[in-house]
Copies of this chain bind each other. A is one copy, B any other.
Amino acid sequence: MVVILKNNATEEQIENIKNHLAQYGFQIHESRGVQKTILGAIGVQPDFDTRKIRILDGVAEVYRVTAPFKQASRDFKSDDTIIKIKDVEIGGNKLAMMAGPCSIESEEQIFKLADIVAESGAKILRGGAFKPRTSPYSFQGLGEEGLKLMRAAADANNLLMITEVMQISQIEVIEKYTDIFQLGARNMQNFALLKELGNTRTPVMIKRGLSATIEEWLMSAEYVLANGNPNVILCERGIRTFETYTRNTFDLSAIPVVHKRSHLPVIADPSHATGLRDQVAPMARAAVAAGADGLMIEIHHDPENALSDGPQALLPDTFLDLVNELRAIAHAIHRDI
């Protein structure tokens, strides 16, 4: 922590500030310039509330110098984390492709789409059985029946599966079926749920909250890591901005920034970021070029009758063509899909 004193701070005030720092367990280094005095407060206390110092008389500003996350940082682990699930790697040179419907709707639907996913060369099937909906009046998912259908469809096509967990009581049943838990954007700071997911060893993909900073996102990863589960994947899915012509603003700048600060893999989800089918393809291309470690894309063979998010689902043929284009872009930056 660095404490900048006011130009007119009195010696008495400075003494009081130093006493407080010492009492809170910090070692103090003092730098006096002509106009500014700076106190360096040394000692690792990642959860220290810096406002305790900021409100003391004579203090102008206080800066925290240690990132509040530890295990999620590059300082803690300098090599990229590669998560291996069966024969699939997430975080390596080869991009992890995840695709499938928004919601599991029927046996026929999920088998048909799992076929397409396998045909594209993607290795991971996505699909929701428990759906978080902003309206209490909307379709809420098939529940465990959906999980069973999805597992069967994944197995029949030699795919992994990923599905969303919304509350602690669902962890046990979902874990029986899934390879990866997905934590939704609105639950990114559901700390109770994060802790419980930290107690499992099943990989967890944490979607970035709609208005979360990258630091907050990494703090959510820290909750899982700190409870003992090292298998954390991040997923950028668009943030809220003032723009009304798109549903969200796909924050691709987050990808190189996360790669610099953290060793965790980052997946990009252009379907939720844009919300409209015709914008998924350009944003998927851009995500690959920006360095994403994988993509999550929604597809549907009959989007007009999809029970949720049909308008953002790609048709199977469009999806197959897109994957080929993405492969060409990946090659241009010396990666593969």
Contact = CB atoms under 8 A, between A and B. Distances in A.
A130 to B, nearest CB: 9
Interface string A277-309: 111001101111111000000000000100011
A116 B42 CA distance: 38
Contacts of A223: 136
A208 B333 CA distance: 29
A249 interface: yes
Contacts of A210: 211
Interface in A5-32: 6-8, 20, 27, 29, 31
Counting chain A residues whose Cβ lies within 8 A of the other chain, the interface size class is 35 or more
A49 B253 contact: no
Stoichiometry (number of copies): 4
A34 B42 contact: yes
Interface string A236-276: 00111111111011111111110011000000000001111
A88 interface: no
A114 B169 CA distance: 36
Contact of A168 (B8, B31, B61, B167): B167
B44 A35 contact: yes
Contacts of A238: 253
A227 interface: yes
A278 B256 contact: yes
Contact of A134 (B167, B216, B325): B216
Contact of A242 (B4, B46, B242, B289): B242
A193 B227 CA distance: 23
Which residue, of A136, A222, A310, has the highest number of chain B Cβ atoms within 10 A?
A136
A2 interface: yes
A70 to B, nearest CB: 9
A135 B33 CA distance: 23
A304 B19 CA distance: 13
B279 A8 contact: no
A279 B250 contact: no
Contacts of A166: 191-192
Interface stretch (A51-59, A89-97, A121-129): A51-59
A7 B75 contact: yes
Interface stretch (A143-151, A173-181, A182-190): A182-190
Given A6-B75, A282-B255, A312-B51, A245 B226 contact: no
Contact of A290 (B135, B190, B191, B286): B286
A84 interface: no
B260 A254 contact: no
A336 to B, nearest CB: 14
A219 B135 contact: yes
Contact of A261 (B40, B245, B276): B245
B51 A40 contact: no
13 contacts: A2-B40, A2-B65, A38-B42, A47-B135, A49-B310, A133-B191, A168-B168, A168-B169, A169-B169, A238-B253, A242-B242, A289-B329, A332-B332
Given A29-B38, A31-B31, A136-B223, 14 more contacts: A31-B40, A33-B42, A35-B66, A133-B191, A134-B189, A134-B191, A167-B190, A190-B190, A211-B240, A213-B243, A241-B241, A286-B290, A329-B332, A332-B332
